[in-house]
A = this chain, B = another copy of it.
Amino acid sequence: MSPRASPAFSTGGPFTPSTGASSATWRGPSSARPKPKPKLHHEGAGRGEGGAFLPTPQTAPAPSPNVKAMRVLITGATGGLGGAFARALKGHDLLLSGRRAGALAELAREVGARALPADLADDLEAKALLEEVGPLDLLVHAVGKAGRASVREAGRDLVEEMLAAHLLTAAFVLKHARFQKGARAVFFGAYPRYVQVPGFAAYAAAKGALEAYLEAARKELLREGVHLVLVRLPAVATGLWAPLGGPPKGALSPEEAARKVLEGLFREPVPALLEV
């Protein structure tokens, strides 16, 4: 789980968020300097810009006098990916949710966040959590679970477990979340070619359901000024793989995955699909 010492990770510069209307609740350092050419927002992310919007473990954390803190909810925070986002966003107004209260409290102490345990597959728990956290600038829904079974063996339990973890949690969070105008909500889909393979029909179905749900939801949420970002990651070395015997070779570290997502997330126009 430790960060890879890849050159990209240790030398990647901090990211300068846009200050356009769709991201009005926080201010990147670019608001205090001449506005860079729009093209840079697409191509220059993380390259040679000042400021400290996106902290890494090696750099000072945001926010700074030039960077207003965002209100961020990370769900599934006790997972490997959620934890990496929590550490990468340390210094912002961080709210962490997960099912394991002990591990959540520990992580919250480490990154200076509030811990709000909840089981988001429960509509009422999701409602209570989202009401408590109030209007968000950023939601990172890092909830997920993997499981394997052949079509001839797949039981109701496995199929429903996958759907609850991936689709229901996302649906309930989206149903109850309140957002600031210009907020971003991040969900993790899957590359179809990686998951639509023998043994993974239930997992693939849950990811397919989530992606389809988001595509319909995207248009509804956009009317509220909220941007849904569907992220597809390659394999990430997290506990998700534990039931499958561990992550495959070449899996991204969670820190690397979080960094790449955060780099892509604040581009303008907001990416609807972010394939890492």
Residues of A within 8 A of B (CB): 123, 150-156, 159, 163, 167-168, 171-172, 174-175, 192, 195-202, 204-217, 219-221
Contacts and interface: CB of A to CB of B under 8 A. Distances in A.
Contacts of A171: 151, 154, 159, 201-202, 205
A215 B204 contact: yes
A174 to B, nearest CB: 5
B192 A212 contact: yes
Contacts of A220: 150-152, 198-199, 201
B216 A209 contact: no
A197 B219 contact: yes
12 contacts: A151-B171, A151-B220, A152-B220, A154-B171, A159-B167, A163-B167, A167-B205, A196-B216, A202-B213, A205-B210, A209-B209, A209-B212
A interface SS class: helix
Contacts of A175: 151-154
In the complex, the count of this chain's copies comes to: 2
A161 to B, nearest CB: 13
Q: Which 3 residue pairs spanning A and B have beta carbons closest together? A: A208-B212, A209-B209, A201-B216
Contacts of A197: 216, 219
Contacts of A163: 163, 167, 209
B207 A212 contact: yes
A11 B42 CA distance: 57
